[in-house]
Amino acid sequence: MGRNKLIEKAMLLPMSKLYGMGVAVRNRMFEWHLLKQHKFDIPVVVVGNLSVGGTGKTPHTEYVINALRGVYRIGVLSRGYKRNTRGFIMANKHSTPSDIGDEPYQMYQKYGRHVRVAVCEDRCKGIEEMMRIDPTIDLILLDDAFQHRYVRPSLSIVLMEWNRPIYNDDLLPLGRLREPQSALNRADVIVVTKCPSEIRPMDIRLIYEHLNLFAYQKLYFSHYVYGNPVSLYPDETTYVLNLSWLTKDDSVLVIAGIANPKPFVRYIKRHQASVTVKQFADHHNFTRKNFEEIKKLYDKMPGRNKYIITTEKDAVRIANNPYFPHELKACTFYIPIKVEFLPYAMPSGTPSFDKEIRSIIKSPRE
């Protein structure tokens, strides 16, 4: 560790300890019932994490939607991070990413015919309002709400990224943890996300040892499967793109405004084209100047054929942005992703993720 890193750590460590004390006091207040949890008459499923950003909450929330929507009438509630509005909003066909946030908008676009999607900073109020508007809702799915303890969940799913295990991290601001590892005791299911397709048994065993879970807790391993590129502006595109068709004579400009774009960029770079990456902050609101910079990068790229490829989450914000250059629309695509679980990584006899979460919802742990 370099001298500057040591100095930075020395400065941040006291702040991290103070933050940890605040988190501990808050959690104790819930345990001692000084802060009250609201229990609803219908199941409430929480998907969250202990660290900030990049664990794959949205794809896993979508997986849970797909796993449960044939059994329940689902209401998805999010706080709507970085939206330009406040209070409760139920998504509808007129909603925009600015109104409800990019991730809720993405889920509404995918599942709006099958589930209700809403945003509200106050999760208790949001649940009550969703149930008032649509009494047919019989399950609430809370996105990124593991720390929102005012709602008592029927099932808590906590995500941990393969390359950023919580046991190698520190509390904010020294590290990326919102809560210490001991907070996992509240979780029913833990998912190690963004795993490689093949995991050594030794690595699986080490994760079990480090997490030291209770007998009633289940640990699962998942990875992303990337789909074929989809045109961001289908009315402007006359051809289909397949990454396996790319050659060394082609160029790709990758636009990524997500917390951890490395796996996405690595996937694009597996193919033969020359790759240029333009990275933005997570949930970035693209400006006219950003698109001018993107146009300049695109124009400078060599190649017989040139493409722009972005993430599914970024596509939501780009497609609704009036400043995106018209001349780039025909060559701009996004890559959809889906979550798959790795059954070989679980001990023999472990129920599938889908079966386990349905079982817990029916008989929640008190």
Is 251 flagged in the annotation as binding? no
Which of the following CATH numbers is that of domain 44-225+342-362: 3.30.1560, 3.40.50, 2.160.20, 3.10.620?
Answer: 3.40.50
Phi, psi at 274, each rounded to 5°: -70, 135
Report the C-alpha gap between 327 and 291 in whole angstroms.
12
Q: Are 231 and 237 in contact (CB under 8 A)?
A: yes
Neighbours of 192 (CB within 10 A): 23
Delimit the domains of the chain by residue range.
44-225+342-362, 228-335
Is 53 annotated to bind a ligand? Reply is yes
Kindly state the percentage of the chain with pLDDT values over 90. 89
> Distance of CA 222 to CAs 105, 254, 344, 347, 351, Å?
24, 24, 11, 15, 15
Angle between helices 312-319 and 102-111 (to 10 degrees): 100
Q: Per-residue confidence at 1, pLDDT binned at 50, 70, 90?
A: low
Global pTM value: 0.94
> What is the side-by-side strand order in the sheet with 116-119?
89-90, 116-119, 74-78, 139-143, 44-49, 155-161, 189-193, 218-226, 337-341
Assess contact for 211 and 159: CB atoms under 8 A: no
231 annotated ligand-binding residue: no
**Is 289 within any annotated ligand binding site?**
no
d(CA 330, CA 335): 15
> Is residue 42 scored above 70 in pLDDT?
yes
Decide if 23 contacts 180 (C-beta within 8 A). Answer: yes
355 is in an annotated binding site: no
CA 333 to chain centre: 20
Strand partners, 38: 151
Q: Give the whole-angstrom CA distance, residue 234 versus residue 237.
A: 5
Question: Which pLDDT band holds residue 178 (cuts at 50, 70, 90)?
Answer: very high
55 annotated ligand-binding residue: yes
Q: Which helix (H) or strand (E) holds 304?
A: none
* Rg for the chain, CA atoms, rounded: 22
Strand, helix or coil at 277? Answer: strand
Percent of the chain with pLDDT over 70: 99
- The answer to whether 56 is a known ligand-binding residue is yes
> Does pLDDT of 6 surpass 90?
no
pLDDT at 253 over 90: yes
Q: Answer whether the bond into residue 173 is a cis peptide, omega within 30°.
A: yes
Instruction: Tell me if 57 is assigned to a ligand binding site.
Output: yes
What's the average model confidence in pLDDT over 313-333? Answer: 95
